[in-house]
Amino acid sequence: QVQLVESGGGLVQPGGSLRLSCAASGFTLDGFAIGWFRQPPGKEREGVSCISGDGTIPHFASVKGRFTISRDNAKNTVYLEMNALKPEDTAVYYCAGSSDMYYFCQDDAQLYDYWGQGTQVTVSS
């Protein structure tokens, strides 16, 4: 069955780095778009980044250049490298998959069919 599992979250000091992983099973990432979303405490879920089915990363798919999304088809895993973390980045981070965005992806949660359980990222000194 289709499953997405996030990992790599934790507590990090401001300015630090984390790499989140989104491992897919039940389908191959090639041809599927994967998006990263986050939900800060008390706030709405927002899009962070995405990669389309053909590997295209839109210009908006990074947070001020600090976050980088990548895909390893051999491992069927998508990563989110987060650098220069700020307290405002504290949130539960989710990955999601869609089979309907091959050429260009969008960070609209309504367009994604499959969701992981989320991983907590806390940026604090």
Burial of 105 (C-beta count, 10 Å sphere; 0-12/13-18/19+): buried
Q: What is the pLDDT of residues 23-75, one digit of tens each?
A: 999 888 888 999 999 999 999 999 999 999 999 998 776 666 899 999 999 99
Residue reference for tokens 């990090």: 12
- Give the pLDDT mean for 8-33: 94
Can you name the residues that pair with 95 across neighbouring β-strands? 36
Is residue 93 within 8 A of residue 20, CB to CB? The reply is yes
CB 5 within 8 A of CB 22: yes
DSSP 88: G
% of the chain surpassing 90 pLDDT: 78
Name the residue among 65, 73, 4, 12 with its Cα closest to residue 35.
4
